[in-house]
Amino acid sequence: MIATHGLEYRYPGGALLAFPDVNVSQGGVLLLRGRSGVGKSTWLSLAAGLRSPSGGELVVAGQSLAALSAVQRDAWRARHIGFLPQQLHLSEALTVAGNLGLAYFAAGLPEDRAAIQRALAALGVAELAARKPRQLSGGQAQRVALARAVLLQPKVILADEPTASLDDDAARDALALLQAAAQQAGATLVIATHDARVRQALPAATVLDLDAQNEPQALSNMRKKL
Amino acid sequence: MKTIALSWRYLVSRPLAAGLNLLLLSLGLAAITFVLLTRAQIDRAFERDLAGIDAVVGAKGSPMQLILAGVFHLDVPPGNIPLTAVQALARDPRVAQLIPLSLGDSFQGFRIVGTTPDYLRHYGAQLAQGQPWQAPMEVVLGAQVAQATGLQPGRAFAGAHGLGGGGATHAAHPYRVVGVLAPCNCVLDRLVLTATESVWAVHEVAHGKADAHDDHEDAQREITLALIQYRSPLAAVSFPRFVNSMTNLQAAAPALEITRLLRMVGVGADVLRGFGAVLLLTAALSVFIALWNAVRERRADLALLRMLGASPARLAGLLLCEALWLAVLASVLGLLVGHGLTGLLGYLLQAEQSLPLTGWLWLGVEAWVPALALGVAVLAALLPALSAYRVEAGQLLSSRA
């Protein structure tokens, strides 16, 4: 589960982002909607314990993040958060299996080869274990990245724009896969997206719409970029 | 996955950069190993050959030449000196022992030295085969000479006039080998040793002198130089001055000349060592740049590791480990190449019957080579590791590149 109350984040530059309260039960789906620059990434990094909020409360998977030190937060993230970045970020220096092994390395756990094979098999990419990421198609790479995200049976899966640059069929498949993986792990699924198709595909999901809340912020950001 | 294994994967994923850094580091370390090895062995060889020789007396000329010719048998001697003058010095109360040396002939480039058995005793030489010479024209071979020429006790050979080889042979007066010395790692290894009388016999007859060996002959007889051991250290003050001013001879103190020589040679060693240091510095810079680039290129990888829950210390350790891999490999390679180069130089010098050098020697100071490599690697990895420490995982989320 994820619950926030009066969550705020102030950038070092001084800009303040305020987020609407949200409450998602364990195993639920949360859609984080909004145009780029409205704070979706910031919300994700707050939920992952990569940044500390400047105000408000944040409870993720039953853990109040404010109660943890930086080192504890790293260890906590390793065990309870699965992450599917938009760029996937599979390391070219390693094989597919090696990339999954990184999750164990990061968590400081002994590598469990059998679990890696199981995770890859569950997503139908077991035969790709020995390949390098550049030898994978886009869809295969996303499955591998997803396998890495669910490898340690996280309580929360954070997916950043999982349907960006996918056609309708592929986007539908990706969402189905993501949902199935989250269900299998019993994890709360958080999808940050500005893609309307995601909303349509997941009618039951809780929606956190950041557009309304941080409109002035987004505009000022855009003006800055221009 | 273990940090060590993972850092190795990252290292070999960029083979060109890793290879170049390894090469640079290894070359620097090899140069330093080479200087350490050669310098130590030259010092040691000089020390061993010089032990117990307080002064060398010979003809007037360059003192350095006298030492190089008389003690190390590297240079030609300045000239001959009358036997009577040497006999007078031997009776001097300040002189504990006087070893006469007569040079002039050689065999296949190895010098034939006429002397007394004292010369063997001075270096504590042991016979590997046969016996010491008992009569003129009997010779004992140094270990290296025996190995190079293949001569055995019982065989005979004719010496060549001159020290360089290729002179006219004294075919009418062959030497007979009676013994071979065990290796002593000193100058005796590359000498052919015989009685002083042998040299007189060859040359006096060859040059048409009478064969008579009566005392009158001593007045005209000559030797080349004499090695002297003092009875007390005080003699070092008065004896050389006495010889140089009161007689037609020259006395040189080896310790003094060798200090002078090593100072001159030392410049070369310093240049080489400086060269090694520059190489090492280049290597350090190169490793630094490579790691720095690795951090930049792998920012996403590192940020992802942060996402997956790796602590910043774990990332810094990963980079440090990558540098340490380079250091360990470069140490092994550098030491091997350094020893190989020394062995090669030793092989080349052996062909010229010059200084003995071997690559099969491990010095305590060489422990500094891996230490140096580790230091360089850690230093080069420090800044990149620090920047890895600061990798902001959040930027992975906002990166839309």
What are the tens digits of pLDDT across the range B36-85? 888 888 888 888 888 889 999 999 999 999 999 999 888 889 989 999 99
Task: Kindly list the residues from chain A whose CB atom is less than 8 angstroms away from the CB atom of residue B398.
Answer: 41-42
Q: What is the pLDDT of residue B101?
A: 95
Q: What is the pLDDT of residue B396?
A: 59
Q: What is the pLDDT of residue B349?
A: 82
Q: How far is CA A185 from CA A28, A62, A81, A120, B144, in A?
A: 12, 16, 11, 14, 79
Round to whole Å and give the CA distance between B230 and B52: 9
Domains by residue range for chain A, with CATH: 2-90+154-225 (3.40.50.300)
- Distance from the Cα of A111 to chain B's closest Cα (Å) equals 6
* A1: exposed, middle or buried (Cβ count in 10 Å: 0-12, 13-18, 19+): middle
**Nearest CB to B310 within list A74, A85, A87:** A74
Round to whole Å and give the CA distance between B34 and B339: 7
**Nearest CB to A85 within list B2, B305, B396:** B396
Please give the ipTM for the structure prediction. 0.85
- Distance from the Cα of A161 to chain B's closest Cα (Å) equals 10
What percent of chain A stands above pLDDT 90? 53
Q: What is the pLDDT of residue B325?
A: 92
Q: What is the pLDDT of residue B401?
A: 36
What average pLDDT score do residues A135-151 get?
92
Nearest to A129 by CA among A151, A109, A107: A151
Give me the sign of the Cα torsion angle B273, B275, B276, B280.
positive
**Both tokens of residue B45?**
């060889």
Whether residue B296 has pLDDT greater than 90: no
Tokens 């930027």, located at residue? B395
Beta pairing partners, A32: A192, A208
Whether residue B400 has pLDDT greater than 50: no
Mean pLDDT of chain A: 88
Report CA B121 to chain centroid distance, whole Å: 24
What percent of chain A stands above pLDDT 70? 93
Residue of A nearest to B4 (CA): A105
Residue of A nearest to B304 (CA): A89
**Nearest CB to B307 within list A75, A83, A104:** A83
Residue B394 and residue A45: Cβ atoms within 8 Å?
A: yes
Q: What is the pLDDT of residue A220?
A: 60
Task: Kindly list the residues from chain A whose CB atom is less than 8 angstroms away from the CB atom of residue B400.
Answer: 36, 86
CB-based contacts of A125, cutoff 8 Å, min separation 6: A96, A140, A143, A144, A147
Tokens 């260890």, located at residue? A75
Per-residue three-class SS string for B363-393: CHHHHHHHHHHHHHHHHHHHHHHHHHHCCCC
Whether residue B215 has pLDDT greater than 70: no
- Distance from the Cα of B385 to chain A's closest Cα (Å) equals 16
Q: CA A101, A106, A111: angle at the middle one, nearest 5?
A: 35
CA atoms within 13 A on the CB side of B220: 10
Which 3 state secondary structure label does DSSP give B99?
Answer: strand
Task: Kindly list the residues from chain B whose CB atom is less than 8 angstroms away from the CB atom of residue A101.
Answer: 1
Whether residue B304 has pLDDT greater than 70: yes
Nearest to B276 by CA among B197, B144, B372: B372
What are the tens digits of pLDDT across the range B344-359? 998 888 776 667 788 8
What are the tens digits of pLDDT across the range A16-56? 888 999 999 999 999 998 887 788 888 998 999 888 899 99
Least confident among B187-191, B233-237, B293-297? B293-297
Q: What is the pLDDT of residue B165?
A: 62
- Distance from the Cα of B24 to chain A's closest Cα (Å) equals 23
Task: Kindly list the residues from chain B whose CB atom is less than 8 angstroms away from the CB atom of residue A93.
Answer: 9-10, 13-14, 298, 301
A vs B: CB pairs below 8 A: 93
Task: Kindly list the residues from chain A whose CB atom is less than 8 angstroms away from the CB atom of residue B396.
Answer: 85, 87, 89
Q: What is the pLDDT of residue B227?
A: 94
Nearest to B197 by CA among B185, B189, B205: B205
Round to whole Å and give the CA distance between A58 and A109: 27
Mean pLDDT of chain B: 85
